[in-house]
Amino acid sequence: MAAAQYHTIDLARLSLSSGQGTRLDLRFDPGELEFGGGDYRFGDAGVEARLDVSRTAAGHALRLRFGGLVAGACMRCLEPAEVGVEVDAREVDQPASRDEELLSPYVSDGVLDLTAWAHDALALALPPQILCRPECAGLCPVCGVSLNEVDADSHRHESAPDPRLAKLRELLD
């Protein structure tokens, strides 16, 4: 049987009293992330996550942790790439507060939008560059060939004479 998929958590239904806490192990799919012009995602099985919920005097304190491999295209050569990420995010929600810092954008009417929170937290946790390998040589800016598949040092274009320039020289002579 497939593990239950969660998208939202009704915090009120956890029936915690002030000072109490609970831990939920869940599985959900943070969906596709658009990042640096490409689409990145976790594996098809979704993500195993741990959510800690603490009831405070005025609301809830939340901590969400998950990790795994995010897959997509290498930002230099467009070949498949994977990067490991670890997310550890915290939110506080005190519904009666007038202080924006104490109002979580992911909680509305006592319901936590787990998918939206996980999605944003994951975007913040991704490294600035996702590469197929740290030393990826990328694509040749002139002809677009992958420089990982040719000898990058000998792959050059400036040595090839431009036929238009040759013609011009002929005319000038």
Binding interface with Zn ion (CB under 5 A):
74, 76-77, 132, 136, 140, 142-143
**For Zn ion, which is the closer residue by CB, 16 or 131?**
131
What is d(CA 38, CA 154) in angstroms, rounded to the nearest whole number? 30
Minimum CB separation of residue 122 from Zn ion in Å reads: 21
**For Zn ion, which is the closer residue by CB, 156 or 169?**
156
CB 97 within 8 Å of CB 59: yes
**For Zn ion, which is the closer residue by CB, 15 or 159?**
159
DSSP state of 87: E
Minimum CB separation of residue 130 from Zn ion in Å reads: 9
Element at 116 (helix H, strand E): helix 114-125
Minimum CB separation of residue 102 from Zn ion in Å reads: 43
What is d(CA 3, CA 43) in angstroms, rounded to the nearest whole number? 15
